[in-house]
Structure 1
């Protein structure tokens, strides 16, 4: 995310025929949404297949350089989908928030960034990646398979309160 905090606003207003709150005081700050995603042990990533069908898979996110990052093998369906269409959605929940983050994915390539991401995976999950010659490997698995790290730059997000009556939209551009 670049440029500081996103704009937070009510998702619905009084003109909408919905039981959602239109009280500005219910708008949640981005730091609460970020904490939800940053602390989540698991999230769901949705991508688009080449034929237009949706694809959703669980993943283990980490928070690095003000954005969520995940690991996957370059030959996985999600990596192949993202190579063709870099738009995605990450969803996650905690006790106070259901969060939907729309974003654009870029693969992390710089060796210094790869090392920071690998260290973050180790700190959060105990998942040890080896970085060498600009590539990432999981040495704990047979054959030490290659992985890629993918950063999601949020473009828009939606948060729904646990009360079922509050909703916030964050716009990043």
Structure 2
């Protein structure tokens, strides 16, 4: 799991200038976007339901090697949606940045990767998962329910400044 540094560019250009800011000095860095995600107690994940309608739910996000990751019960609506269609959007509002990340979400597998994500949840949220036979469980809850971890790989992202007039677009992998 690793997210490459994206290309940052102004979302609005001179022809869009009124009332938007086109000063390149207002560009936000991707590290600022990651800090917004990392510091948020929760974010919103939107997925695509089977009938094509959007489904939104609050999630807790951790970063593993710069990649946002979430936990979800395998039979939850969001997990079923992601199994069918990996397209997702994470949104979060921070003090200095409102962030919208369009992404593809894929289930994390393999003991080492699962342990990395579990460690990140333990560090950020004090939420402890047990990894057994490549299965993720929360043994603090009755019945030790199973969870799935998803890496949310950004495709493009948008960051909006607190003034509502500054915006940055980040493009990943030439999208």
Q: TM-score, normalised by structure 2?
A: 0.95
**Residue deviations 1:119-167 (CA, integer Å, cap 9, x gap):** 1101111101000000000111111000000000101000000111100
Residue of structure 1 in register with 2:95 after alignment? 95
Residue of structure 1 in register with 2:140 after alignment? 140
RMSD value over aligned CA atoms? 1.2
* Separation (CA, whole Å) in 2 of partners of 1:132 and 1:3: 27
* Separation (CA, whole Å) in 1 of partners of 2:149 and 2:3: 23
Q: TM-score, normalised by structure 1?
A: 0.96
Aligned length: 173
Residue of structure 2 in register with 1:60 after alignment? 60
- Stretches of structure 2 that go unaligned for 5 or more consecutive residues are none
DSSP-derived class of the 1:75 partner: coil
* Separation (CA, whole Å) in 2 of partners of 1:125 and 1:13: 40
* Separation (CA, whole Å) in 1 of partners of 2:8 and 2:78: 29
Alpha-carbon offset, residue 18 of structure 1: 4.2
- Stretches of structure 1 that go unaligned for 5 or more consecutive residues are none
DSSP-derived class of the 2:58 partner: strand
Residue of structure 1 in register with 2:28 after alignment? 28
Residue of structure 2 in register with 1:116 after alignment? 116
Alpha-carbon offset, residue 93 of structure 1: 1.3
For residues 89 and 117 of structure 1, do their structure 2 counterparts lie closer, same or farther at Cα, with a shift above 3 Å needed? same
